[in-house]
Amino acid sequence: MNAPSATHVVLIPSYNTGAKVYETVRDARRQWAPVWVVVDGSDDGTAEGLQSMAAEDPQLKVIVLPVNRGKGSAVLAGLQAAAEAGFTHALAMDSDGQHPADLIPAFMRASQQRPDAMILGRPVFDASAPLLRVRGRRISNGWTQLETLGAGIGDSLFGFRVYPVADLVAVMRRQPWMRRFDFDTEAVVRLAWRGVAPVNVDAPVKYLSAEEGGVSHFNYLRDNALLTWMHTRLVLEFLLRLPLLVLRRVRGLPPFQYR
């Protein structure tokens, strides 16, 4: 592996995934340095397990949040620490083995070529993907296209992405949402509004069975309600922003110029 990056860090938010997180972290470390894990109030013993891994690996850092606050909060904690340490970009990936660690270098390269952009994984599903999640996704993607006036966001929900750190921290500081499962979608919409252009890159996604160690904390009722409320807020704000967005689109200003 090459020397540790001083600009690009891998950020892995983790909440009660059991042993899967160790595998995920090992896979990520094989591809990149440094890798940071944010333990989001897990009570499954993984905070301790990860800390002992980090004791033997200077390129692995573990941030432990004492209480569970949600994925967005965990990512934000990691982003703030990354900004303080001088990193300009962070690749976020899930801790549960669903995301392709072997694509980390390619995503980082894409980001180094386009530091102004966000590099978004576009999920390539296999037969393991639950139909309900795939369909729900299409709805969310349709709303996202509208909310960004067709800025070209390939997928609104997939969390395997490289973000410009300062832009995302600025966006998140300004409002109280985006702290749980509303993070992934609201992040891309608000970054696009800010003028951060999307670059879409295909990435395979796996849905692991319970026997394979698959864990998800996505709750259909609670989280679909949260996502519906999120799109309601975003559409209302979109209407206010519409005149400016139209102007930017007509003039070919970011996020529209790179389509």
Ligand X SMILES: Nc1nc2c(ncn2[C@@H]2O[C@H](COP(=O)(O)OP(=O)(O)O)[C@@H](O)[C@H]2O)c(=O)[nH]1
Give me the residues that bind ligand X (CB under 6 A), please.
13-15, 17, 40, 68, 70-71, 74, 94-96, 98, 216-218
Which single residue brings its beta carbon nearest to Mg ion?
96
Binding site partner of 68, from ligand X, Mg ion, none, Cβ cut-off 5-8 A by kind: ligand X
Shortest Å, Cβ 61 to Mg ion: 22
CB nearer Mg ion, residue 177 or residue 207: 207
Residue 155 lies near Mg ion (rule: CB under 5 A): no
Q: Of 27, 40, 96, 155, which one interacts with Mg ion (CB under 5 A)?
A: 96
Sheet holding 35-40, edge to edge: 60-65, 35-40, 8-14, 89-92, 161-164, 118-125, 198-205
User: Least distance to ligand X from the beta carbon of 216, Å?
Assistant: 3
Q: How far is the CB of 217 from ligand X (least distance, A)?
A: 3
Residue 218 contact partner, candidates ligand X, Mg ion, none, CB within 5 to 8 A by sort of partner? ligand X
Nearer CB in complex with ligand X: 105/213: 213
Nearer to Mg ion by C-beta: 94 or 155? 94
Instruction: Name the segment binding Mg ion (CB under 5 A); options: 53-61, 64-72, 89-97, 116-124.
Output: 89-97
The smaller minimum CB distance to ligand X, of residues 23 and 116, is found at 23
Q: Which is nearer to ligand X, 74 or 187 (CB)?
A: 74
Instruction: Summarize as ranges the residues that interact with Mg ion (CB under 5 A).
Output: 94, 96, 98, 216
